[in-house]
Amino acid sequence: MDNKNLKDLAQNPDFIPGIYNYCDRWCEKCPFTSKCLNYAMQKERFSESTGDMEKDNEVFWQELVETLDDTIRLLKDLMKERGIDIDDIAVDEEYEKKEEDIRNFTKAHPLTKMADDYIRMAEVWIKRMQPGFVNAGIYLENTEEPLADRDRTSGIRDTLDIIRWYQYQISVKIQRGLQGKQRAEEFNEDTFMYDANGSVKVALLGIDRSLAAWKRMTVFYPNEEDPVIDIMILLGRLRGKTEKEFPEARKFVRPGFDDR
Ligand code: SF4
């Protein structure tokens, strides 16, 4: 898609501005696809497909390079307007130091460690169950199993999809929130805190949905109740501690999802 098409597409008044900034990116399950510019762009790209993946990829990167050229031109004009020298590449050491401190702080934060523990615990359980999932056709498209078993199979597959979708995203969003909170304090900028709360709200919703999915797993696998409950306890603690660290996150209004 060239820049002109993109501009035309973006003019659509039906789109909710910024809806894609604080969603979970699960477009397949999203109730707002018709209101989302990001989704429309993906669809447009898909419709332009030649059916040849290599060719499509070449066009994709070529278009990106063209966008970059336009962006650099725009950036140069803006910098000139503001009297900034684009060739001045002096490193702002104070800024760099602050950013490094923020990264280290986030990495060492108990919420990051807990979210990463959750990733590992979920991974261990899924890996242990994998042979059973494969046997039950959960990873297979055309299973030959009897119809009576299909509800159970698709139920497990859906539940696993939920767990998988949020398993890593929770940690990523929490870390973004922690970095935003630190930046808001370091640079005294409210927009960082706004973004932090939005990111953490997405993480909290991911935790809620994952908890519900794990509960469903115990129905499908009653013998697995003990290990699954251990995972749920960890996730529940992560939920509580995240809410405490970000008391405003639940109140964050996500464009589209929470304001209509
Ligand atoms: S708002 Fe919905 S359609 Fe748009 S990127 Fe997010 S999940 Fe996908």
Residue among 33, 169, 201, 205 to mutate when testing ligand 1 (max atoms within 8 A of CB): 33
Is residue 124 domain-resident? yes
- Give per-residue burial for 48-82: e unless 16+ CB within 10 Å, then b: eeeeeeeeeeebeeebeeeeeeeeeeeeeeeeeee
CA 147 / ligand 1 centre spacing (Å): 33
> Do 145 and 200 have their domain in common?
yes
CA 33 / ligand 1 centre spacing (Å): 6
Q: What is the pTM of this model?
A: 0.83
> Do 157 and 53 have their domain in common?
no
CA 18 / ligand 1 centre spacing (Å): 10
CA gap 259, 22 in Å, rounded:
13
Pocket of ligand 1 (CB under 6 A): 19-20, 23, 25-27, 30, 32-33, 36, 38-39
Burial of 98 from C-beta contacts in 10 A (0-12 / 13-18 / 19+) = middle
Position 189 confidence tier, pLDDT thresholds 50, 70, 90? confident
> Do 73 and 99 have their domain in common?
no
Provide the residue range defining the domain that includes 123.
Answer: 93-251
> Do 56 and 140 have their domain in common?
no
> Do 234 and 147 have their domain in common?
yes
pLDDT in tens, 74-126: 888 888 888 887 777 667 788 889 999 999 999 999 999 999 999 999 999 99
> Do 226 and 161 have their domain in common?
yes
Is residue 60 domain-resident? yes
Nearest alpha carbon to residue 113 among 178, 46, 42: 178
Which atom number of ligand 1 is nearest to the Cα of residue 257? 1
